[in-house]
């Protein structure tokens, strides 16, 4: 019976191979090598991010079956999902938890790539597409936060869109484009919904496709220090096959992540809060999602005016300039090599950025920090 | 003497400008479409924010001033004051804190005194202040 079954599968695969010629993908995976050294663990983070993104897509599609994108119905529809729909609470909680874990893993992935200097030639496009993907994921977080139409989300959107509105030249257009008018209203919710479920997924698919293609084309980057050590010893580095060895290890991580997500969703279900009321004051203790907290705190501690210009504008320009430098790092740190002064400068720049973000984030969560 | 124009050069120029015009004819309506139209709204200059006695001394409440939130405060001395409730920092809706006798924005911890002047935190400007009249038991708020 089983031999017959195997025969059928083999025949089906042969049929597919004759028409689609898909076996080149398997060959590609078998020929792809993953370097083995003391930093190999960081290579798993890209796959983990991809896995969490797939969870987001699946749970997001399931939420779409019941969600209604209007100011009058959004909150009630999410309430319906979490209280009446079988396992609705689980799907919504996993979507929220997975979004947070995804951004967390993505940040670690990005910083590990940064400190291991994996952005260096010829991987500039991989770095740029990866950084753009981080911005897109933050865009997903920002737009998705409003969709339950609760109080916290309403004011987070009010502040976030006001920040976009303070940008020089394009600010006014950006604010009206994002809000769908001058105020945060049901029109803003409809726009954010469209951006969250159509515009961002389309952009992400295109950029992620390019990112994965570049990773496949150039393979995993070995850190300059490891390369120098191997050169000094006159040995070629060790490696393992992507298919099946690395993928099987990836799978273990993905199973653990799925378990952790289910546990988090069951033990700490994501709260819905109170329905948004545009004519209520901002509630005490308001803060954005943790990954925006460092920007939130920056805007909070800046004085009203610096050198005659409003403090918030300095903050917004500073953060935008930092993001641009981060995006262009491969072109600024052109010859990363151990001992190179510019390379050391950029490593310090990365540590300072990381420390700044961590301190500002922790500050928000400290008693009295808000 | 410049180079003689070639047939190839002319065709390239012709096709290039045609493509440019075609792209513009697609992008211009798109850009206009995503920017929402101005919806004319009757300017609200005067509203009834509440009834006398609704508010205890040293308390405040949000009221609608057209499409914007306004803040009505009854001071500890019983005087009524009204302001725009939009924080001048990043547009969050402010509230009255009776314990501090100040107006507070919860979003970034901004403070204003009872004259609406920014006195703490990041707000760069004072709140817009409205005029308050009490007539026939109604609290009428108007732009000054």
* pLDDT tens digits along B92-140: 999 999 999 999 999 999 999 999 999 999 999 999 999 999 988 899 9
Closest Cβ opposite residue A177 in set B35, B95, B108: B35
pLDDT of chain A, 370 residues: tens digit per residue: 444 556 899 999 899 999 988 888 888 888 888 999 999 999 999 999 999 999 999 999 999 999 999 999 999 999 999 999 999 999 999 999 999 999 999 999 999 999 999 999 899 999 999 999 999 999 999 999 999 999 999 999 999 999 888 888 888 899 999 999 988 999 999 999 999 999 999 999 999 999 999 998 898 898 888 888 888 888 888 889 888 899 999 999 999 999 999 999 999 999 999 999 988 999 888 888 999 999 999 998 998 888 888 888 899 999 999 999 999 999 998 776 667 888 888 999 999 999 999 999 999 998 765 4
What single string gives the DSSP state of each residue in A161-213? HHHHHTSTTTHHHHHHHHHTSSS-SHHHHHHHHHIIIIIHHHHHHHHHHHHHH
The alpha carbon of residue B65 is apart from the nearest alpha carbon of chain A, in Å, by 10
Whether residue A215 contacts residue A123, with contact meaning beta carbons closer than 8 Å, is answered with no
Q: Give A-chain residues touching B107 at CB under 8 angstroms.
A: 155, 158-159, 282, 286
Q: How far does the CA of residue B31 sit from the closest CA of chain A (Å)?
A: 10
Nearest CA in chain A to B68: A279
3-state secondary structure of B7: helix
> Which residues in chain A have Cβ-Cβ distances shorter than 8 Å to B85?
281
Which fold, A33-217+240-274?
A: Cytochrome Bc1 Complex; Chain C (1.20.810)
Nearest to A310 among B34, B64, B124 (CB): B124
Based on C-alpha coordinates, what's the Rg of chain B? 27
Tally C-beta pairs within 8 A across A and B: 85
CB A60 within 8 A of CB A69: no
| Whether ipTM exceeds 0.90 | no
Domain boundary assignment for chain B? 1-37, 46-143
A300 with B109: Cβ contact below 8 A: yes
Q: Which residue of A has its CA nearest to B93?
A: A281
Q: Is the dihedral of CA A206, A210, A215, A217 positive or negative?
A: positive
B36 touches chain A (CB under 8 A): yes
Q: What is the pLDDT of residue B1?
A: 52
Q: Domain spans of chain A?
A: 33-217+240-274
CB contact under 8 A, A304 and B107: no
Alpha helical stretches, state H, A242-287: 247-267
Tell me which chain A residues have a C-beta less than 8 angstroms from the C-beta of B63: 279
Nearest CA to CA, how far is B7 from chain A (Å)? 38
**Choices 3.40.1640.10, 2.40.170.20, 2.102.10.10, 2.40.30.170: CATH for B46-143:** 2.102.10.10
Q: Which residue of A198, A281, A302, A308 is the best one to mutate when testing the B interface, meaning the one whose CB has the most B CBs within 10 A?
A: A281
Q: Summarize pLDDT for B66-87 with one digit per residue, the tens.
A: 888 999 999 999 999 999 999 9
Record: contact A370-B36, CB cut-off 8 A: no
Question: How far out from the chain centre does Cα B1 lie?
Answer: 61
């Amino acid at each position: 019976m089983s031999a017959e079954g195997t025969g059928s599968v083999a025949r089906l695969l042969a049929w597919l191979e004759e028409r689609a010629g898909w076996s080149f993908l398997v060959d590609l995976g078998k020929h792809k090598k993953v370097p083995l050294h003391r930093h190999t663990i960081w290579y798993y983070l890209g796959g983990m991010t991809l896995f969490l993104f797939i969870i987001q897509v699946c749970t997001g599609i399931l939420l779409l079956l019941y969600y209604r994108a209007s100011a009058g119905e959004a909150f009630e529809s999410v309430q319906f999902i979490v209280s009446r729909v079988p396992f609705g609470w689980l799907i919504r909680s996993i979507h929220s938890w997975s979004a947070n874990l995804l951004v967390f893993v993505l940040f670690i992935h990005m910083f590990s790539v940064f400190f291991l200097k994996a952005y260096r030639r010829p991987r500039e496009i991989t770095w740029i597409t990866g950084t753009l993907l981080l911005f897109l994921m933050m865009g997903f977080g920002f737009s998705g936060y409003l969709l339950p139409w609760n109080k916290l989300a309403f004011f987070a959107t009010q502040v976030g869109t006001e920040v976009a509105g303070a940008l020089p030249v394009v600010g006014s257009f950006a604010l009206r484009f994002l809000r769908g008018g001058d105020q945060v209203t049901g029109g803003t919710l409809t726009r954010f919904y469209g951006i969250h479920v159509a515009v961002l997924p389309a952009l992400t698919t295109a950029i992620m496709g390019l990112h994965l293609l570049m990773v496949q084309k150039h393979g995993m980057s070995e850190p300059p220090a490891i390369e120098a050590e191997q050169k000094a010893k006159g040995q070629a580095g060790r490696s393992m096959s992507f298919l099946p060895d690395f993928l099987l290890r990836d799978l273990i991580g993905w199973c653990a992540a799925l378990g952790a997500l289910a546990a988090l969703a069951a033990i700490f279900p994501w709260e819905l809060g109170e329905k948004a009321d545009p004519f209520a004051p901002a509630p005490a203790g308001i803060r954005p999602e943790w990954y925006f907290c460092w920007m939130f705190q920056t805007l909070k501690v800046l004085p009203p005016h610096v050198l005659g210009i409003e403090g918030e504008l300095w903050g917004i320009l500073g953060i935008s300039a930092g993001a641009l430098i981060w995006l262009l790092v491969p072109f600024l740190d052109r010859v990363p090599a151990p001992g190179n002064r510019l390379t050391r400068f950029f490593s310090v720049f990365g540590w300072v950025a990381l420390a700044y973000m961590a301190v500002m984030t922790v500050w928000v969560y400290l008693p009295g920090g808000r | 003497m410049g180079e003689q124009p070639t047939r190839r050069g002319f065709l390239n120029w012709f096709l290039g400008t045609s493509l440019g015009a075609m792209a513009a004819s697609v992008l211009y309506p798109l850009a206009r479409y995503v920017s929402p139209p101005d919806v004319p709204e009757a300017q609200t200059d005067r509203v009834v924010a509440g009834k006398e006695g609704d508010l205890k001394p040293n308390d405040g409440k949000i009221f609608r001033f057209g499409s914007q939130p306004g803040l009505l405060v009854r001071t500890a001395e019983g005087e009524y004051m009204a302001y725009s409730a939009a924080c001048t920092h990043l547009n969050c809706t402010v509230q009255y804190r009776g314990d501090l006798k100040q107006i507070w924005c919860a979003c970034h911890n901004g403070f204003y005194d009872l004259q609406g002047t920014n006195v703490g935190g990041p707000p760069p400007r004072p709140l817009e202040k409205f005029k308050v009249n009490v007539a026939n038991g109604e609290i009428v708020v108007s732009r000054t």
